[in-house]
Amino acid sequence: MRRKILILIVFSIVFLMVVSCKSEEMNKEEKWEDTSTVFSSDYGEMFGKEGSIGIIGMKTITERGQKWMWHFWGAEDISYKEWEVKAFKQGEEGAIDPINSKDEMLSPRGNEIYGHARSTVLFPSSGLWKIQVYIDGEYFDEIIVDINQE
């Protein structure tokens, strides 16, 4: 009986180690590349994900920050909601809030953009950043941006 329990414990430990290693490999293999394409709209040239997230501003951020004007397509129900951003740097754990100041509520702009807001962003370092947008506490969408912090 002791032998069966010992074998079961050893098997469980080996299994957990294999699963743990697989998870780490999957995280390392996640491909990070700038997914923020440049496109034009009625409001000017933007980068982001056309039809979802559009940002007017520069990807080069100075020590005082950079002004970004955010545009969100989607359904009317995102208008007049609170929004927030979480940013994750490639190869690092944990998220930051890159926004120093912002319009707290989204406002509609035109016939298609149901969320629009101004902000000032600042990133602690250059590199690839995954930017996730949450509207009214719910995940909206994300883009990966190659930020140049000066």
Strands (E), the chain: 37-41, 44-49, 53-56, 60-61, 66-73, 83-89, 99-102, 107-109, 113-121, 127-135, 138-149
- State the pLDDT at residue 11: 57
> What is the reported pLDDT for 24?
44
pLDDT value for 5: 64
Question: Quick one: DSSP state of residue 15?
Answer: H
pLDDT at 17: 61
Q: Which two tokens stand for residue 132?
A: 């996730």
- Decide: 147 and 124 in contact? Cβ < 8 Å: no
What integer pLDDT is reported at residue 148 of this predicted model?
95
| C-alpha–C-alpha distance, residues 81 and 138, integer Å | 11
**99 and 120 in contact (C-beta within 8 Å)?**
yes
Residues 6+ apart with CB under 8 A from 105: 80, 81, 82, 83, 117
In this prediction, residue 94 carries a pLDDT of: 96
pTM above 0.75, yes or no: yes
User: Collapsing DSSP states into helix, strand and coil, what is residue 23?
Assistant: helix
Looking at residue 127, what is its pLDDT?
96
CA dist 37 and 145 (Å) reads 9
pLDDT of 29 reads 56
> pLDDT of the chain along its 150 residues, tens only?
676 665 656 555 655 465 554 434 444 457 899 999 999 999 999 999 999 999 999 999 999 999 999 999 988 889 999 999 999 999 999 999 999 999 999 999 988 999 999 999 999 999 999 999 999 999 999 999 999 988
Kindly report the CA angle at 130 between 136 and 100, in degrees rounded to 5?
60
Q: Which pLDDT score is estimated for 25?
A: 45
pLDDT score at 6: 59
Query: Amino acid identity of 74?
Result: G
